[in-house]
Structure 1
Amino acid sequence: MEHKAQDRRLRKPSTCISQNREEISVLDHSIEIKWTEPVLLAFYTNSLVPRLIQPGSREQYHDPGHISSLMRMSETVRYATMACSAMSLCGNFSKDPNWNRGMRRQALSYQASAIKSIQAQIKAGVVDGTEDWLLLAATKLHLTDTLDHNTTNPIAHMQSLMILLRCRHIARLQLPKDSPPPKESLIQERICYEAALCHAITLMLFDRDFDMIDQPWWFVVDEYFQSTLLSTAFSEKCWPILGMPYELFRLALLAHSLNRRCALSSKDKDTAVDALVELEMWNGHIPHIGKFAAGYTWLIATTALLRHVLSRGGNDMPETPKEPKVDIQDVVTNLDAGGYFVRFPLWPLAVLYRVTEVPSEREVLKGLISNALRNVSCSASRPPPREVVNLYLIAPGL
């Protein structure tokens, strides 16, 4: 009876997306629910969205109204949304592997339909790259790749997304200063920028040939956070996906890029030391619990990676700030801190797993990676497959 009641609660007309904040509980009986298109759309709004937005961010970032409006208007957005939902469901919920495979095929079918729709509209010349629905659909396709742990073609998808952001950036510069875009559009754009950064740094774990900072369109990201009309203040309320200021996240990208270099030049070493000095400043503002706690694991992982980079420099390593003591239990406390749970902690956990040499700490980090994968895919009942966890333990792109 429970699953039938849940099915009725989820089943809504496809033109009316539920905005109820109550999270849909998906247990093993999910196999018995009829995952129709309206149900998949409602699942995204009620279960996936709350896991993607940092709980400490402003209420405007939690409001699904604009997303729901774009879903109603755009079939492409609906396809991309259903792809996200189906891919999230296929991973860990059912004991029946045939059901899981069937749901994944359904997700890939929706994803293909969304891509085909976008390509057709580009070919017809009816889009210019600045549309809100197009940016939202592209971001959802990236999320589908992340949920599928796809490491084969997401880089092409990332480049397409950044082309869209560049089109919007150029168009934005041409607008009169007294005619700003609608606030709903600005909010959606901000979420997409931050989501793209999280997706990009995760891709860098798997592919050594992809470096976000070295891309020709990277300047668009820097310029966006320097000129955006939405606040970039030192407040966790201003960072809906990152949960920390962009300046700190950028240091993580820099550390990753430096770690890939076989030999460090003098300039590279100076860059690493300068970054450590900046991280020391952040260390005074981001404790493992409390304000900005979402950035704590990123902070200590970036610091550890930069010190690992400099340790390969031999005896001529420049003087660096005093190394702070890292307690692995602080990481556990940070990720269990209820309202401050980090939505995308996979990069820092993979980094800490790589640089630590303590077996007991590695076991703890392995468990945290598994739990993080559960959180991202909305699974509370089953662990992720071992091969998926191993992707982050090996991290060939690191």
Structure 2
Amino acid sequence: MRYRALGNTGLQVSEIGLGAEWLERHNAQEVKEVIDACEAAGINILDCWMAEPNVRSNIGAAIRGRRDRWIIQGHVGSTWQNGQYVRTRDLTKAKPAFEDLLSRLGTDYVDLGMIHFVDAEAEFDQIMNGEFIEYMRSLKQSGAVRHIGMSTHNPHVARKAALCGEIEMLLFSVNPAFDLLPGSEDMNAYFAEEYDEGLHRIAPEREELYRICERRGVGITVMKGYAGGRLFDASASPFGIALTPVQCLHYALTRPAVASVMAGFDTPEHVRAAVAYETAGEEEKDYATALAKAPRHAYAAGQCTYCGHCAPCPAGIDIAMVNKLYDLAVLHDDVPATVPAHYGQLEAKASACIGCRACESRCPFGVQVAERMQKAAALFESAAR
């Protein structure tokens, strides 16, 4: 298992995590089997947003005696009222629900205290200017929450959170289908039966979000990485093709700022299917060729998705990384110092490009790599002289 820094939190998280939602439909023994399989594979982060009491207790029982090896994303604002889940900002409901979460998980803190499910910009503003954020601050001050995070499906809300200076990480929905869609306050829009035929590139607000998070050290953990399993079925997929878990994981993990994908597991076999990513070859990870050849909604020509098809470069350039750093740099007029610093650590710079264009013949999306290397060299290396 490989581990990644979660933004500036100081936490090192497994790049595959446990999104525990599916465990609601399982008994205590089955939950323990899944969690044991995760531990055996080296998974060290789990997300528990569910308010249903039994699943919280079952997870707590499964990690009893091993709490310290888990990084827990626990949600604040997810409550159980009259036998059903209710999202709320009412602290008279949210406070006892969070205390219940701690009690049932058998812990006195969560590593990541998530402000639960904020998809409307007006609601974000209310939270950040009201008693809810004050409560989150008090939880952090007391140590019941180590870092404040937020979960959202809306890139406009996520952008506000990343720029506000107080939200340290995001749980955000990332997959190649959702990335085509403009931001919406209605999560159901992402699960439409058909997408607009004009959608042929990553939505600009999503590209910008990933780059802002990378630049500011706001880590991302991923939900909906499989689009609820929809991407595994050609008849349900908006692309008209089926992707594999490994391909979906690779897509999410190549987005800037992404540290871990919270995958849903019903069984230990599901855990193994996801963890296969850690030993998969490049052909198994290859989402780019599949999307480029998809009968519907293939990505636009000329757009780099950092998939790595351009490798190997005879000059030793990490082309995908140079492209990622270049895109981060041009996001704003003033280039953050950290970006050229990362560029300076690359063994081979963009100026080493010999213009052979072998990379371009391998790129599924027709990116003009040689031209981008010239632009990157001019941006980063002329300034360094």
Question: Could you tell me the TM-score, scaled by structure 2's length?
Answer: 0.26
Question: Could you tell me the TM-score, scaled by structure 1's length?
Answer: 0.25
